[in-house]
Amino acid sequence: METAAPYQVQPTHTLRLRDIARMAHVTRWHTVRTARDQTLAEHLYIVTMISHELARRVLGDRLTDQDRLAVYDWALRHDTPEIITGDVPTPTKHQLGKMYTDQSPLDLLEESVCRDFTEAKNRVRDTPLKILVKLADIAEAIVFLNVESVTDQGRRIQSRLHDQYRLHVQQAATRWPDHHWDAALAALDELLHGEETAELDWN
């Protein structure tokens, strides 16, 4: 009996301007009860801002203009396929990863949705820049759940995300020991417990 050849995807599509505008209406966390909805646009913006700050702190003088642009580009695009697929729950992603050890069909689908997404992903592949955006992605989720979670489920997810964040930092420090990865741990603590500029002092 013949078996089908692995499905190969060519990223031939580009999200249109109207697709991009819909990010303001695509919501996340639909399997977790939260006090309010979060949009994809909000998530991508905050991840991008955190990514930039992590890159500045962790890479220091090694951060080039080209690196900075690559971080911005990948952070802004890392979840754009959700415009088409919706927010796929993390347990589903993990299960697909176990079932398909070569490449998850979700990864293939995401890479087929948008050429710009795939190109941005490839520019940071196997670099500390990809880890920095991943850390920012996790940090943003931790902060959101810290404020908006209303159930024990959300708090359990937040705890697991803390563990994932620390594990990614440890792995990155082993692979790229010349960078200041402790700064990533300090940044997460600042996001959760740091001071805010709540208002201007006009006196």
**104, 7 contact by CB (below 8 A):** no
Q: Which two tokens stand for residue 192?
A: 């959760």
Sign of CA dihedral 17, 19, 24, 29: negative
Helix (H) or strand (E) holding 28: strand 27-28
pLDDT at position 10, please? 53
- Per DSSP, what are the bridge partners of residue 27? 39
- 33: number of CA atoms within 13 Å, CB side? 4
Contact (Cβ atoms closer than 8 angstroms) between residue 15 and residue 83 = yes
pLDDT tens-digit readout, 142-154: 999 999 999 999 9
Q: How many CA atoms lie within 13 A of 162 on its CB side?
A: 13
- Average pLDDT of the segment spanning 152-166: 96
- The whole-model pTM stands at 0.86
Domain ranges, ordered by start, for the chain: 17-191
First-last CA distance in the chain: 81
φ/ψ (deg, to 5) at 39: -90, 160
Please report the pLDDT score of residue 28 as a whole number.
93
pLDDT above 80 for 65:
yes
Residues 155 and 102: their CA atoms lie apart, in Å, by 32
Per CATH, the homologous superfamily of domain 17-191 is Hypothetical protein af1432 (1.10.3210.10)
Is pLDDT at 55 greater than 50 in this prediction? yes
What digits encode the pLDDT tens for the residues 128-139?
999 999 999 999
User: What is d(CA 22, CA 16) in angstroms, rounded to the nearest whole number?
Assistant: 10
Collapsing DSSP to helix, strand or coil, 63 comes out as coil
What pLDDT band is residue 4 in, cutting at 50, 70 and 90? very low
Is the pLDDT confidence value at 23 over 70?
A: yes
Retrieve residue 188's tokens: 């997460």
116, 145 in Cβ contact below 8 A? no
